[in-house]
Amino acid sequence: MKKNYITLLFAALFVLACNKDDDGLITTATDVQTQDFMWKSMNLWYFWQADVDVLADDRFSSDEEYTNFLRSESDPANFFDNQLRFVEDRFSNYSSDYEDFTNFLSGITKSNGLSFGLIALENDNVVGYVRYVTPNSDAATKDIFRGEFFTGVDGQTLTLNNYIDLLFGENDTYTLNMADLVNDTFTPNDKEVTLTKQEGFQENPIFVVNTFDVNGQKIGYIYYNRFLNEFDEELNDAFGQLKAQGITDLVLDLRYNPGGSVNTTRLMASMIYGTNNNDLFIKQRWNPKIQASFDDSDLEDYFTDRTGEGTSINTLNLSRVFIITTGRSASASELIINGLDPYMDVIQVGTTTTGKNEFSLTMVDDPGRSGLPYVYSPSRESSINPENRWALQPLVGRNENSVGFSDYTAGFTPEIELEEDLANLGVLGDINEPLLARAIEEITGVSGKRDFTVRKPARPFADPEVFSPVKDNMILDKPLNLKLK
């Protein structure tokens, strides 16, 4: 099983130059070893290292001053958030267990397979609506479907005070108390659905692949849920299926896709646009101390004609693509919009994306990794400090497109704005699902009698992804050649 990590070959001299131990900041206090790991990895890798005063190379004049700083917060999470995080950083994350963390990056979780959004009602009550059911999950074996609602768990009415414990607590099994939407009111019914989380569940992010023949136009559709490099070959096969069916337009559905592998994004872009290895897709920008150690060519990613396994890319060679987005479309989902934009018409349908334009690396307490201190490698798990299982996922850089644009922290606004409707969510991949139907209407140029008025907008305040170990992630997973200058 591949993990989302990068393989960097640093010059040994670079490690010596950047390791804070050589500046006299050596702490042996066991009570702050996690904080020590956090500071040293952030001092080297963090995108905003130069903007955080306490991360400056010369910030501490003595070992005692440094150790006292590490002891300023006894909880490592508070230390990271209160002392190290840059004020504009919305997405760096951490976990107290690197194994759970890295499994999640590969799509391996403890999950019942139900994705839902939560809506706040009057009197602090909460209603959940089903977004999708992951294939081959526990939920997929139960009587529950997209567009259904629940107002209770285990007989308790969901409220703003209890929803976290009931839905995201330690209980692996819970029973949802379902409800109907009648005259804009959520009314409990007698239906109950019991779900159980499966340990080690891995989702295939390619949920739906369809081709529609509409008035003689062949339109392809892919619902893609995460950019997981473990499924690159399956993704290429899906595009091969669409290519064999002769599609002339594509609707790429990323409405709930939180991101993932940068390299998978590059592969997908090549499947959509083309395989010209001379066309620049994206370019990385790091913090000044890291950036200065690269040649420009090391930072550039081009469209490609091969997958990582050497398989020929099945490209559609399109001049435009329609991408369905919502506020849950983040990171790598936004990267593909930005990377394709200079080369083709990218038409968004839906609502504004999250606005995450940075990529990250996974850090663990492995300072001795040759040429690559603190960056996680599955082959070096025996070298990770056994007394410190914490992992960081700090933002370490930004990806610019071929014309140098990367400023989309406010998200990408759709050309065709249409919210999901709780009163009519539709079936993902069905030609009558509202967002897909609106895209098809734009493609064909034929306006039907369909009314796209949204009666009850889906505007959730929380969902399971918010409580996942890593949310809205864009993981850099490419070989790089760093040279000290």
- Band of the pLDDT at 477, cuts 50, 70, 90? low
Mean per-residue pLDDT, 473-482: 56
Closest CA to 360 of 114, 111, 89, 148: 89
pLDDT of residue 26: 58
pLDDT at 448 over 70: no
User: Of the ranges 35-39, 308-312, 337-341, 368-372, which one carries the lowest mean pLDDT score?
Assistant: 368-372
Distances (CA, A) of 207 to 136, 210, 281, 416: 11, 10, 26, 24
CATH of region 110-201: 2.30.42.10
pLDDT at 23 over 70: no
pLDDT of residue 484: 41
pLDDT at 279 over 90: yes
User: Of the ranges 368-372, 395-399, 458-462, which one carries the lowest mean pLDDT score?
Assistant: 368-372
β-pairing, 126-133 vs 114-120, is antiparallel
CATH class, domain 204-283+294-359+398-452, is alpha beta
- Band of the pLDDT at 17, cuts 50, 70, 90? very low
Q: Distance between CA 475 and CA 356 in Å, rounded?
A: 12
pLDDT of residue 11: 33
pLDDT of residue 278: 96
pLDDT at 474 over 70: no
Domain boundaries, the chain: 12-106+360-396+471-475, 110-201, 204-283+294-359+398-452
pLDDT of residue 121: 93
pLDDT of residue 22: 42
pLDDT at 176 over 80: yes
- Band of the pLDDT at 10, cuts 50, 70, 90? very low
pLDDT at 102 over 90: no
pLDDT of residue 170: 87
pLDDT of residue 473: 58
Closest CA to 32 of 385, 382, 393, 470: 385
User: Of the ranges 117-131, 190-204, 290-304, which one carries the lowest mean pLDDT score?
Assistant: 290-304
Q: How many CB atoms lie within 10 A of CB 203?
A: 20
* 473 or 222, higher pLDDT: 222
Q: Distance between CA 440 and CA 416 in Å, rounded?
A: 12
Closest CA to 303 of 272, 332, 330: 272
Percent of the chain with pLDDT over 90: 77
pLDDT at 105 over 70: no
pLDDT at 295 over 90: no
Mean pLDDT of the chain: 89
pLDDT at 485 over 50: no
- Band of the pLDDT at 101, cuts 50, 70, 90? confident
Q: Distance between CA 320 and CA 19 in Å, rounded?
A: 47
